[in-house]
Structure 1
Amino acid sequence: MSEQDKTVKLSDNERLKRESNFLRGTIEADLQDEITGGFTADNFQLIRFHGMYQQDDRDIRGERAKQKLEPLHNVMLRARMPGGIINPDQWLAIDKFAEEKTMYGSIRLTTRQTFQFHGVLKPNIKGMHQMLDSVGIDSIATAGDVNRNVLCTTNPIESELHQEAYEWATKISEHLLPRTRAYAEIWLDGEKSETTEEPILGSNYLPRKFKTTVVIPPNNDVDVHANDLNFIAISENGKLVGFNVLVGGGLAMTHGDTATYPRKADDFGFIPVEHTLAIAEHVVSVQRDWGNRSNRKNAKTKYTLDRVGVNAFREEVESRAGVKFETSRPYEFTTRGDNIGWVEGIDGKHHLALFIQSGRILDYPGKTLKTGCREIAKIHQGDFRMTANQNLIIAGVPTEQKSAIEKLAREHGLIDDSHSNQQKNSMACVALPTCPLAMAESERYLPSLVEKVEGLLTKHGIADDNIILRVIGCPNGCGRAMLAEVGLVGKGPGKYNMHLGGNRIGTRVPKLYKENVSEDIFLPELDNLIGRWATERNEGECFGDFVIRAGIVQEVKISKTDFHS
Structure 2
Amino acid sequence: MAQESKTRTVEEIKVGSRWLRGTVAEELETDAASFRADTAQVLKFHGVYVQDNRDTRTERIRAKAELDYACMIRVAIPGGRLSAAQYLSLDELARKLGSSSLRLTTRQGIQFHFVAKADLQELMRSINATLLTTWGGCGDVVRNVTACPSCDEEVRRLGLDELAQTISLEFKAPSDAYYELWIDGARVPNQVLGAARIARSVYGPTMLPRKFKIGLTTSRDNCVDVFSCDVGLVVDIDDPTRIRVYAGGGLGRSGTDETTFARLGDLFGEIDRSQILAVVRAIVALHRDEGNRDDRSHARLKYLVEAKGVAWARSEVERRSGVEFAPATRDTFEVDDDHLGEFVGGGGSFDLGIKLPSGRIVNRPGARYLDGVAALIEEFNPELGITARGDLIVRDVPVRHRDRLYALLGTYGVAVPERLSPLHRASFACVALPTCGLALAESERYLPEFLDEFYAMLADLSMSDEFFEVRMTGCPNGCARPYLGEIGIVGRSKRSYDIFVGADRHGTRLNTLFARDVDRSLLVSGLEPLVRRYRDQRRDGESFGDFYFRLDPAEIASLRPAPRERRTRVRSES
Question: TM-score normalised by the shorter chain: which range applies?
Answer: over 0.9
Structure 1 segment 521-532 matched on structure 2, within 5 A: 521-532=522-533
- CA shift, 1:92, in A, is 0.9
Q: Is the 8 A contact 1:234 1:329 kept in 2?
A: no
The answer as to 2:406 corresponding to 1:387 is no
Which residue number in structure 2 is paired with residue 398 of structure 1? 398
CA deviation string 1:168-218 (max 9, x = no partner): 111000011111111111111115999755730222110111000111232
Q: 1:485 to 1:411 in 2, by over 3 A?
A: same
Which residue number in structure 2 is paired with residue 84 of structure 1? 80
Q: Which amino acid in structure 2 is aligned with residue 63 of structure 1?
A: E
SS in 2 for 1:55: strand
Which residue number in structure 1 is paired with residue 220 of structure 2? 218
- CA shift, 1:219, in A, is 1.7
- CA shift, 1:162, in A, is 4.9
- CA shift, 1:520, in A, is 3.6
Structure 1 segment 409-424 matched on structure 2, within 5 A: 409-416=409-416, 417-424=418-425
Which residue number in structure 1 is paired with residue 572 of structure 2? none
SS in 2 for 1:433: coil
Q: Which amino acid in structure 2 is aligned with residue 98 of structure 1?
A: A
Structure 1 segment 84-123 matched on structure 2, within 5 A: 84-102=80-98, 104-123=99-118
Which residue number in structure 1 is paired with residue 353 of structure 2? 353
Q: Distance in 2 between matches of 1:284 and 1:90?
A: 30
Which residue number in structure 1 is paired with residue 456 of structure 2? 455
Q: Is the 8 A contact 1:109 1:115 kept in 2?
A: yes
Q: Is the 8 A contact 2:27 2:35 kept in 1?
A: yes
CA deviation string 1:463-486 (max 9, x = no partner): 111222111001111011111111
Q: Is the 8 A contact 1:290 1:304 kept in 2?
A: yes
SS in 1 for 2:342: strand
Which residue number in structure 2 is paired with residue 129 of structure 1? 124
**Which of 11, 18, 22 in structure 1 is aligned with 2:19?**
22
SS in 1 for 2:210: coil
TM norm structure 1: 0.92
CA deviation string 1:7-31 (max 9, x = no partner): xxx9911111111101100000111
Q: 1:333 to 1:194 in 2, by over 3 A?
A: closer
Deviates more, 1:375-384 or 1:399-408: 399-408
Q: Is the 8 A contact 1:23 1:46 kept in 2?
A: yes
Structure 1 segment 230-309 matched on structure 2, within 5 A: 230-236=232-238, 240-309=240-309
Q: Distance in 2 between matches of 1:317 and 1:118?
A: 39
- CA shift, 1:268, in A, is 0.8
Which residue number in structure 2 is paired with residue 560 of structure 1? none
Which residue number in structure 1 is paired with residue 152 of structure 2? 157
SS in 1 for 2:438: coil
Q: Is the 8 A contact 1:154 1:162 kept in 2?
A: no
SS in 1 for 2:237: strand
Which residue number in structure 2 is paired with residue 499 of structure 1? 500
Which residue number in structure 1 is paired with residue 516 of structure 2? 515
Q: Is the 8 A contact 1:88 1:383 kept in 2?
A: yes
SS in 2 for 1:306: helix
Which residue number in structure 1 is paired with residue 229 of structure 2? 227
Q: Distance in 2 between matches of 1:269 and 1:553?
A: 38
Deviates more, 1:401-410 or 1:292-301: 401-410
Unmatched 5+ stretches in structure 1:
1-9, 556-565
Q: Is the 8 A contact 2:174 2:198 kept in 1?
A: no
The answer as to 2:372 corresponding to 1:372 is yes
Which residue number in structure 2 is paired with residue 63 of structure 1? 59
- CA shift, 1:523, in A, is 2.1
Q: Distance in 2 between matches of 1:413 and 1:218?
A: 33
Which residue number in structure 1 is paired with residue 40 of structure 2? 44
Q: Which amino acid in structure 2 is aligned with residue 211 of structure 1?
A: K
SS in 1 for 2:204: coil
Q: Does 1 or 2 have the higher relative contact order (CA < 8 Å, sep 6+)?
A: 1
SS in 1 for 2:37: coil
Q: 1:408 to 1:67 in 2, by over 3 A?
A: same
Which residue number in structure 1 is paired with residue 442 of structure 2? 441
SS in 1 for 2:282: helix
- Percentage identity across aligned positions? 34
Q: Distance in 1 between matches of 2:73 and 2:402?
A: 33
Cα RMSD (Å) of the superposition? 2.1
Q: Distance in 1 between matches of 2:153 and 2:235?
A: 12
Q: Is the 8 A contact 2:339 2:393 kept in 1?
A: no
Which residue number in structure 2 is paired with residue 562 of structure 1? none
Q: Is the 8 A contact 2:232 2:247 kept in 1?
A: yes
SS in 2 for 1:264: coil
- CA shift, 1:328, in A, is 2.1
- CA shift, 1:327, in A, is 1.9
Which residue number in structure 2 is paired with residue 201 of structure 1? 203
Q: Segments of 4+ in structure 1 off by > 6 A?
A: 192-195
Which residue number in structure 2 is paired with residue 312 of structure 1? 312
Structure 1 segment 153-192 matched on structure 2, within 5 A: 153-158=148-153, 161-162=156-157, 164-191=159-186
Q: Is the 8 A contact 1:270 1:325 kept in 2?
A: yes
Q: 1:180 to 1:554 in 2, by over 3 A?
A: farther
Q: Which amino acid in structure 2 is aligned with residue 229 of structure 1?
A: V
**Number of residue-to-residue matches in the alignment:** 542
Which residue number in structure 2 is paired with residue 558 of structure 1? none
Q: Which amino acid in structure 2 is aligned with residue 228 of structure 1?
A: D
Q: Distance in 1 between matches of 2:150 and 2:419?
A: 25
Which residue number in structure 1 is paired with residue 560 of structure 2? none
Q: Is the 8 A contact 1:157 1:346 kept in 2?
A: no
Q: Is the 8 A contact 2:173 2:196 kept in 1?
A: no
Q: Which amino acid in structure 1 is aligned with residue 496 of structure 2?
A: K
Q: 1:347 to 1:213 in 2, by over 3 A?
A: farther
Q: Is the 8 A contact 2:245 2:268 kept in 1?
A: yes
Q: Which amino acid in structure 2 is aligned with residue 62 of structure 1?
A: T
Q: Distance in 1 between matches of 2:259 and 2:331?
A: 32
Q: Distance in 2 between matches of 1:527 and 1:554?
A: 14
Q: Which amino acid in structure 2 is aligned with residue 521 of structure 1?
A: L
- CA shift, 1:374, in A, is 0.8
Q: 1:43 to 1:341 in 2, by over 3 A?
A: same
TM norm structure 2: 0.91
Q: Is the 8 A contact 2:141 2:212 kept in 1?
A: yes
Q: Distance in 2 between matches of 1:331 and 1:496?
A: 32
